[in-house]
Amino acid sequence: MSEKPVSFEKAVKAQGTMFDNSERFFQAGIGVPLTEETLFRLTLKGREEVHGIIPGPLSAAHYSAIGKVAANWAALEMLINSAIWQIGEIPDEIGGCITSQFFTFDTKIKALIAVLGVRGNFNKTIAALNKFHDRSRGAAQKRNRTVHDPWVGDFKTGIPQRLEITADKKLVSGYKPITTDDLLKLVDEIADLFDEFKEIISPAIERFPPLRDK
């Protein structure tokens, strides 16, 4: 580990404690030179290793990426909801009362496919939606884990960690390293799904103008 002195700002940020704005005061307080090794020891002090990591804070950029994942997925689900209302010829207010009870992406897609089946003459659209549904499962799972699982930083590696605890016939329990870049790739993946869904459903939407326009 480098013995190169680090900045006061870096020390304060890593320690997570407010200090007097004086590097001299800070160094006097710990009684040793302010090096990277000293800083590392300070940040680990009083922290216990859990499942192989020492939990620490996340960066603002990582929190932002989590928010973008949630926002993009919410936009996709809203587009599906509005398609159900329009193709089902249901006023938005009443449609909102119905689709707000559909708690999963899976349920929303299945409901939309069923509505298209009742309308008839949408075999091509239904086939495309079934394929879209299958392709989107991976992103849906990653979105759910991103939004619902606890997150921590790792003081030892600096890599964000997601705590996953699931039991689909077999228990999975532990921290999984997920970088900010990984999340930003998921953001783009969801945006692509949004565009794909819009292209698939547009021909059906065009046959059923919104009720407020009639």
> Which ranges in 34-122 belong to alpha helices (H)?
36-44, 60-87, 92-99, 105-119
> Which ranges in the chain belong to alpha helices (H)?
8-15, 23-30, 36-44, 60-87, 92-99, 105-119, 123-148, 180-206
Task: Name the residue ranges covered by the structural domains of the chain.
Answer: 8-44, 55-213
pLDDT of residue 154: 85
Of the listed ranges 4-8, 50-54, 157-161, the one predicted with least confidence? 4-8
The position carrying tokens 């999975």 is 172
Residues 57-90: tens digit of each pLDDT: 889 999 999 999 999 999 999 999 999 999 999 9
pLDDT of residue 155: 79
Q: What are the residues whose beta carbons fall under 8 Å from the beta carbon of 83, sequence distance 6 or more?
A: 112, 201, 204, 205
Compute the distance between CA of residue 99 and CA of residue 82 in angstroms, rounded to an integer: 9
pTM higher than 0.85 for the full model? Answer: no
